[in-house]
Amino acid sequence: MTPIEAEKIINEYWRSMKDLRSAKAIVQPISDLPCSTGMIKYAHFVYGEELIKKNLLTKKIGDQLTQSYSKIHSRFVEDSDHINTKYKEYITGLEKGKIVNDFKLGDLIDIDVEYNNFLADCQGNYGRNKD
C-alpha cells in the first residue's frame, strides 16, 4: 500500500462515520466501513510512518490519527442494533431516574496507546536503549 492509497482509505473511513447523536446510538455496523478493519488499521500505520519520514507529523495530525485509529473497533461492530437498543434502554432508564448497572460495552481496548506507541517507535522514541 502506498501512502497515497493509505490516505485515501483513511479519508473514506472518516467519511463513513455518521453523527450518532440524533439516533441516540453509540456504535455503527461494521458494514458501513469502506474496507476491512485490518486494511484501515494498516493504512493508519503506512500513513503515519510516511508523515514521520517526511517530517510532517504535527501533534494535531498525530492526535487525529490516534483518535481515528482507536475508533475502528470501538465504533464499528458486528451487532450494532443490539448494542444500540441496549444503550437506548439504558438512556431511557436514566431519564426516568433508574440506574441500570448491567449495561456494558464489553472490554473495549484502549488502542489509542497502541497507535501512539507505533508513532513513537517510528520516531525512534519508544523505550530503546541507544547504545
What is the per-residue pLDDT for 103?
62
The DSSP element (H or E) to which 99 belongs, if any, is none
Three cell numbers written together for 35:
474496507
CA distances in angstroms from 131 to 62, 71, 86, listed in the order given = 28, 37, 54
Show me where the domains of the chain are located: 3-122
Quickly state the pLDDT bin for 128 (edges 50, 70, 90): low
Q: Give the mean pLDDT of 13-21.
A: 91
Which grid coordinates belong to 65? Answer: 490519527
Q: Which of 13, 77, 80, 71 is nearest to 40 (CA)?
A: 13
| 6-10, 12-16, 42-46, 67-71: least confidently modelled range | 67-71
> In the predicted model, what is the mean pLDDT of the chain?
85
What's the confidence (pLDDT) of residue 126?
53
- What does the chain come to in residues? 131
In this structure, what are the phi and psi dihedrals at residue 26, rounded to the nearest 5 degrees? -125, -10
- If you average pLDDT over each of 54-58, 101-105, 123-127, which comes out highest? 54-58
Q: Give the C-alpha separation, 42 to 130, whole Å.
A: 28
* Cα–Cα dist 44/36, whole Å: 13
Q: Express each pLDDT in 79-117 by its tens digit.
A: 888 888 888 888 888 888 877 666 665 544 456 678 878
Average of per-residue pLDDT across 68-78: 88
Nine-digit cell at 23?
439516533
Tally the C-alpha atoms within 13 A of residue 71's C-alpha that lie toward its C-beta.
18
